[in-house]
Amino acid sequence: MEFSSEFIDKLKSAKSVVFFTGAGISAESGISTFRGKDGIWNKLRPEELANFDSFMRNPDMVWEWYQYRRKIINDSHPNRAHLAIAESEKLFDKVSVVTQNVDNLHGRAGSNTIYELHGNIERNFCVKCGAFYNSADYNFTEQAPRCEKCGGLVRPDVVWFGEMLPQEVFAEAEKAAEWSDICFVVGTSAVVYPAAYIPLTAKKNGSYIVEVNIEETDLSGYADYSLFGKAGEILPEIMVVLKEIRS
Ligand code: BJW
Ligand code: ZN
């Protein structure tokens, strides 16, 4: 792939970069996206699963869906896109990963600074007393578990529609975006807010926005540079160029 000279100049001078990622970055690891051609929400209605009222009305149905996804995630591995981002830490002064994903694949790939805006599917907590439960430490079944301490329902520690994002994490992510020289927007439809403000905040503060996606998105009009293709192919190619520049 040929990159523009403007992009290569930006790569040369950039010190601080942000990778804002979404479900598309994990698609090549075998994890379905939500929207788009193969999105799981073509078959399931998000409002029936990803909100607190649905969980309270039908905890087993919602829990079963998360157990199903946990299994897929546990059986998956970080792909070349996650690994390229982790490797980029050797080539820039500061790399922050701001992810909407709950699959922990950036962590497993070795990235060090990760802001998880929508939580993490491995963590759970009691809706009544707040006690934390790590999936790895419990033999959860398909039925929504009950808290050992108070008998309340245990839910996944993810952010559902209508819920606040973790405020400190979001504030740190915004700072990283503000200070970035380049903001890579990878594999997200950029339709879910407030997460989708991250690249807009970066842009407002003079960062160079590079979108990597298989198709156009709501953000494409704001991007300074759009690279259409698979994240697992494009990001390693960027790393090759970056290594040449930095060697
Ligand atoms: C590839 C690829 C490859 C595929 N390579 N690319 C402002 C305006 C409008 C609405 C709102 C607003 N502010 C708030 C709202 C409401 C709502 C919202 O945004 N709604 C819109 C959807 C209409 N937001 C909220 O409710 C948020 N909370 C909130 O605002 O609270 C404020 C508040 C609360 C209380 C009182 C008062 C105020 C919370 C949002 C939570 C989102 N949660 C989910 C589920 C998480 C748990 C779980 O995983 O189950 O998060 S929804 C789902 O969407 C998930 C994702 O993180 C999120 C984003 O999706 P993402 O990652 O972009 O994936 P896709 O599938 O959409 O896109 C994949 C992309 O990859 C596509 O573009 C493909 O082309 C591409 N691709 N293969 C590269 N190989
Ligand atoms: Zn409890």
For 88-100, what is each residue's pLDDT tens digit? 999 999 999 999 9
Angle between helices 80-87 and 231-246 (to 10 degrees): 20
Task: Tell me the CA–centroid distance for residue 62 and ligand 2, in Å.
Answer: 19
- Mutate-to-test residue for ligand 1 from 192, 210, 227, 234, highest number of ligand atoms within 8 A of CB: 192
Task: Tell me the CA–centroid distance for residue 104 and ligand 2, in Å.
Answer: 25
Cis geometry, peptide bond prior to residue 194 (ω within 30 degrees of 0): yes
Ordered by where they begin, the domains of the chain are 5-31+78-118+165-246 (3.40.50.1220), 40-74+126-158 (3.30.1600.10)
Q: For atom 2 of ligand 1, which residue has the closest CA?
A: 24
**Per-residue confidence of the chain (247 residues) as pLDDT tens digits?**
899 999 999 999 999 999 999 999 999 999 999 987 777 777 777 667 899 999 999 999 999 999 999 999 999 999 999 999 999 999 999 999 999 999 999 999 999 999 999 999 999 999 999 999 999 999 999 999 999 999 999 999 999 999 999 999 999 999 999 999 999 999 999 999 999 999 999 999 999 999 999 999 999 999 999 999 999 999 999 999 999 998 8
Contact 155, 125 (CB under 8 A): yes
Cβ of residue 33 lying under 6 Å from some atom of ligand 1: yes
pTM for the structure as a whole: 0.97
How far apart, in whole angstroms, are the C-alpha atoms of residue 79 and residue 38? 18
Task: Tell me the CA–centroid distance for residue 56 and ligand 2, in Å.
Answer: 15
Q: pLDDT tens, 144-178?
A: 999 999 999 999 999 999 999 999 999 999 999 99
Cβ of residue 39 lying under 6 Å from some atom of ligand 1: yes
**Alpha-carbon dihedral sign for residues 61, 67, 70, 76:** negative
- Whether 106 sits among the annotated catalytic residues: the reply is no
Contact 143, 126 (CB under 8 A): no
Which ligand lies nearest the alpha carbon of 160?
1
Q: In which order are the strands placed within the sheet that holds 154-158?
A: 132-134, 119-126, 154-158
